[in-house]
Every structure is written in structure tokens, then in C-alpha cells.
Amino acid sequence: MQKYQTEVLIIGCGAAGLTSALAALERGATTLVVERSCYEERGGNTRWTESLFMLKSGQRNFELRDEFWGSYAENSGYHTDPDFIQEAAKDYSNWHPNVKTAAFVDPELLSVFADNIPPTLEWLAEFGVTVDMEGLSHPYFIKVPTLPCLNGGGLQVIENLTPEVEKRGGKFLFETTASELLLDDMGKVSGVKATTKNNEPVEISAKSVILASGGFQGNPQMLVQYMGPQARYLRPVAKGGYYDKGEGLRMALAHNAAPAGDWSDCHHELVDPRSGKAEALVHIYQCGIVVNRWGKRFMDECPSDFSEWLEEPCKAIKAQPGGVAYLIYDDQLHSADYQGWRYGVRSEIAPFRGETLAELAGQIGVPAAALEDTVAEYNAACVDSDAVEYGAHEPATFDFGGQATQGLAPNKSNYAKRIEKGPYFCYPLMASICFTYGGLRVTPRAEVLNFSGEVIPGLYAAGETVGMHYGHYTSATSVLRALVFGRLAGASAAAV
């Protein structure tokens, strides 16, 4: 058996793990990072993300957008006991244990998160990890406000911080998977058991352990266990997600750690199932109709509420037979003067094309008669079809003109334009998973709590391993969460 000893042991080599390591090293602690991937593929989800930030663009300071607070407030939990909410207004040290471990967004934790975003980003700039304050817009066919992002995306974090950790004396164990927490006689976390190549056992002793190993989007068993049978149709949106198999969460839960976040849900994105490209997004479903394998519509393709444009279509599609659907549109979009719609497609694979609906149906395996009937029924309900202008909307209010179907179920609230001019086109659609919401409850110092609301000595968590999401994901916060709580966890763990 291989044996190692360190002061701070970190599980995971993404944004949370690397910032944890740097923060611990700055405080003089010896540091070891364990990562299940090889060196070349290190970084988990961080390696693949564009790293959009929920900050106001076009300015010098790192100021949160108003949507940050509004989104977390609207998605703070489900039917939370009002007495718990009232008690959460008190000083954190006086909270009842049931409040500390309840399934809602901890306002104290959220405040610490927000307050630490500017100093964390300023700190990272010392290592060449910088923010483009003009930023990028979401990949939709319409123009939406831009969000600041990391120059070079999440890959910049991986490539810049890895050598910084090594330069300061930090060590890495790649192709090594942690599997069990070690506790001393007093119940304090004192290291982990792990395995390396050829299933060779490894034991690492440490004064503190930081779980920065992500969620469980790469574990089909855990997905179905916690999210139900529809989760069998999900796959990670990028290759790095396959490394997130949930061991960090399982290790903590085995020692009575308190869960947080919605374990039955995740952050989704719609992708082309034919593509293996990271984030092969298809976000133009608002411009046509979406049908299932039987050629039937089942969703409002263009709701007026922009917050329903990302998660809700994914949830509707994964509930369909085979967890797949088909976007149908015609040459009125394909050859339109407005070609901005192409910005909403990141798949490198061309759409299916048929001169007739029947020909298209044959290519995608949908009953031709059913598809023709669905399109005819839809066309008859498009009473303002000629008024629809793709790309026309008010960016501030997301007013799309209101050209809706009439007498159709389900309704299409906007962009109800008839599909009647061949050739006809189709992109297949499936829901992919960016990350799971289920995580661990932590204190504002990133200490993991047990179900009694008490700190598990020596155990910390950061990044996606911290549960903070219920319902809809607060966009452009996942990498910020990893960076902020990684730094907090590293500083706290080094002080043990």
C-alpha cells in the first residue's frame, strides 16, 4: 500500500480544488491534490466551460447583476417552514440545528458568497486568471445582454493555477480516486483511503480534507437513484463531467454529512445527441416546433418568460419516449434575411433535410402521417403567421411580439409562424447535464455540517460539492461558486 502524509488534502483538480490548494499554500500548509483523471484531462467541468459570470458588464468593478439576488430568492427551496426563514435572520451561531440543515438556500452562506466574489477575482488576477468585462452573450438565436467571462474560459484556471500550485510546493496524485474518509478516535477527519492504477490501495493522512470533486453527473447509478428513471437519458454536456462520479458526496454522507441543494434535479442544456462536441447546443427551438418520436408536439416552444427557455424544455424532452425530440423548421428560417439564428446552434453536424415533410420524417424515424398531421394542425392555429419576424424582440423586456397560436394544445406563445415552405429541416434534441444540484451543507467557512447542525471536524467542501440550487439554476454562478468557496475552504483548512 502506498502511503502519503500532508496537512491539507484536496479531492479534485478543478477550479475549486486548485483555488483551495493555492489558498492553503499561501498560509504555509503542505498540500496534496488527488485527481482521478490523468494530467492531460485534469480539471473536470472547469476545463470545458466558458466561465460566464453573473456580473455587470462593461465596467471596471466586479459588481453583481441584480438577477443574482432575484434568482436565488425565487429558487431558494420548496415550501420552507416560515419559522425557519425568520430564524435565519438571526446571527448564524444562534440558529437551531434544524435550520442549519434545512433544505433551503442559506442566506448567510449566500451573503458570504457574494461578498467574496470581488476579492477572489482580484486575487486570481495575480496568477494571470483575468476577466473579460465585455464578455459573451448566451448562445441563443436572439440578442441577450452580455455577461463577463474568464479570458480563455475555465481552461485558463487549469493551465495557470496548476503550475502555481507546483511552484509553491503543492503536490498532485493523478489517476487516483478517493473512496473513503478516515476518522481518528475523536471523530475528526484524518485523511482518506484511495486507489490508483491497477486498483492499488493508497492511504493519505491529513489534518484536513477538502471535497472539491464536483457532483455525480458522470455516475448513471446515482443519477437514477436520486433523479428518477428519466435520468437514464442524460449525459454530461462536456467530457469533463464524466469524471464527476460522486465519491466525494458518498464519502461525506457515509459520515452523517447534511445534504443541501435539490438532489432530484440538475442544470440542463439542450444539445444535438449526434455530436460529441462539448456543449453542442441547439437553442433555436423557439423558431419551429418540437415533436417527439410519435410526431406529436408536447411543449410551448417559445414561452414569454425567458427563465423558462433553458431548464423547462430539457425537462419536457427527457420525459418523452427515449428522452429525445426533434426540432422541425422550414426554409423560411433557413434562408431568412435574419441569419442571427445560427448563433444559437453549436452543433457541428448539419441538420437533417427533406424536400417534403414525409421525406424528413423518414430520415429521423418519425411516422410521416403523424408529423404531417401535427404540422397541419399547428399551421391552422398560426393566425398571425405573416407578422412573425424571427429575431425581432425587445432585449430589455423579452417581448417577442406575442404572435401566438389559437385553439392549440399545447399553445405556442410567440413566433407562431406556419411551417409550409420546403425544404424542411430537423435537429434532434436531447437534454444534457451540466452539473447536479445535490451537494453538502457547509458553514460560511466552508466546513461541512452533520445532520445535527454541527461541524464535522477537519472536513470542508467547495464548488459543485456544495449544494446551493433548487428549481432553476442561477445562471453564470457555478464557476464563481467554485472559485470563491475553493479559496475559503483552503484558508479554513490551513488554519486547522
Q: Read off the pLDDT of residues 328-367 as tens digits, 9 standing for 90 and up.
A: 999 999 998 888 888 889 999 999 999 999 999 999 999 9
Residues 142 and 391: their CA atoms lie apart, in Å, by 6
Return the pLDDT at 479. 97
Domains of the chain with bracketed CATH: 2-265+437-494 (3.50.50.60), 271-432 (3.90.700.10)
Give 200-235 as a DSSP string. -EEEEEEEEEEE----STT-HHHHHHHH-GGGGG--
Return the pLDDT at 184. 95
Strand partners, 2: 202
Q: What Å distances lie between residue 371 and 16, 335, 358, 363, 424, CA to CA?
A: 47, 22, 8, 12, 12
Strand partners, 4: 204
Return the pLDDT at 402. 84
Residues of the chain whose pLDDT is less than 50?
none
Q: What are phi and psi of 134, to 5 degrees?
A: -80, -45
Return the pLDDT at 135. 85
- Residue 136's Cβ-count burial label (10 Å; 0-12, 13-18, 19+) is middle
Q: Which residues contact 26 (CB under 8 A, 6 or more apart)?
A: 168, 490
Return the pLDDT at 160. 97
Return the pLDDT at 394. 65
Return the pLDDT at 63. 94
Residues 237 and 281: their CA atoms lie apart, in Å, by 9
CA-nearest of 279, 337, 289 to 313 is 289
| pTM greater than 0.85 | yes
Helix residue ranges per DSSP H, 42-176: 66-74, 82-87, 97-100, 107-125, 153-167
Return the pLDDT at 397. 65
